Structure 1
Amino acid sequence: MNPPTIPVVDVRPATTHFESIGAEPAVTRIVDAFYRQMDTRPEAREIRAMHGPDLAPVKAVLVRYLCEWLGGPKHYSAERGHPRLRMRHAAFAIGAAERDAWLACMHAALDETDIDPAMRDTLMQSFFRTADWMRNNGR
């Protein structure tokens, strides 16, 4: 008589969004496309004006933040501490129009970089919740 078979359980962690979209190179492409959208969309003029002329520093920060937010390396927190997004953006008037412009730029960036449509929809739902929470102006 054979002993009972013990099922093998895979204990590896589930694939993160970071891994499934292509890790840091994909995040960098998304961030580049996002700011390209911000530079060209008329409805994004106000949020683009919240940034300096040189986008390189803010792009680097957004890449680190999104990498961590998507489940990748925690370089953002190691360098800057807790994200404290509302505090870091408190100096900027963020209303529904600014939220919607940011989301439009991000949606277009995800489309431009060929993110899987199901993943794009999942990310956009999360981006909406965060962007809506960032509002600090009743406009």
Structure 2
Amino acid sequence: MLVDLKVPPSDDWVPTLEDTPYQRIGGDDAVMALAGAFYDAMDAHEPALAKLHELDAQGRVNQGTRERFGLFLIGWLGGPQHYSAQHGHPRLRMRHAHVPVDLAMRDAWLRAMGRALDGRGVTGGLRRFLDERFAQVADFLRNQEG
């Protein structure tokens, strides 16, 4: 196949079963690092959101929460279903029903994830796809007006 080098390659990536976000990010370790970067960004920049989570003695989101979210992300991004094997179906709305999620909390969550994606160097078509999907899920979890 010949490629016209004058035309820049397209970065309109769309996931497939053979080319998942999980694979693009780099597998288990990279996704767990993304989850860690997310909570680090939350701890540093979104204290009201961080306080909705279980905190450790240093006032940071605890390691158990970080690990559970990392396991969830691995499966949600198209990798192995470690979370479901250990914790059952995610049932996102049910698990978040006790947490007041309004526009401010949704936006704080998205800012923390944006910082994590920036910090992990996620760009291009993968970044556009993830930004859209994370926004959809964050909005889906809203359970309060405003």
Interval containing the TM-score (normalised by the shorter chain):
0.7 to 0.9
Matches within 5 A, 1:7-86: 13-41=17-45, 44-54=46-56, 55-86=62-93
Report the alpha carbon displacement of residue 25 of structure 1 after superposing the two structures with TM: 1.3
Report the alpha carbon displacement of residue 118 of structure 1 after superposing the two structures with TM: 2.1
User: Structure 1: which 5+ runs fail to align?
Assistant: 1-12
Counterpart in 1 of 2:116? 109
User: Structure 2: which 5+ runs fail to align?
Assistant: 1-16, 57-61
**Matched pairs, number:** 125
Counterpart in 2 of 1:5? none
Query: In proportion to residue count, which structure has more helix?
Result: 1
Instruction: Please tell me whether Structure 1 or Structure 2 has the larger radius of gyration of its CA atoms.
Output: 1
Identity of aligned residues (%): 39
1:126 aligns with 2:133: yes
CA deviation string 1:32-72 (max 9, x = no partner): 1111111111xx22210011222100011011000000110
Report the alpha carbon displacement of residue 79 of structure 1 after superposing the two structures with TM: 1.3
- Length-normalised TM-score, structure 2: 0.82
1:91 aligns with 2:93: no
Report the alpha carbon displacement of residue 124 of structure 1 after superposing the two structures with TM: 1.0
Report the alpha carbon displacement of residue 117 of structure 1 after superposing the two structures with TM: 2.8
Tell me the C-alpha RMSD between the 2 structures: 1.0
Q: Which runs of 4+ in 1 moved over 4 A?
A: none
Distance 1:125 1:45 in 2: 24
- Length-normalised TM-score, structure 1: 0.86
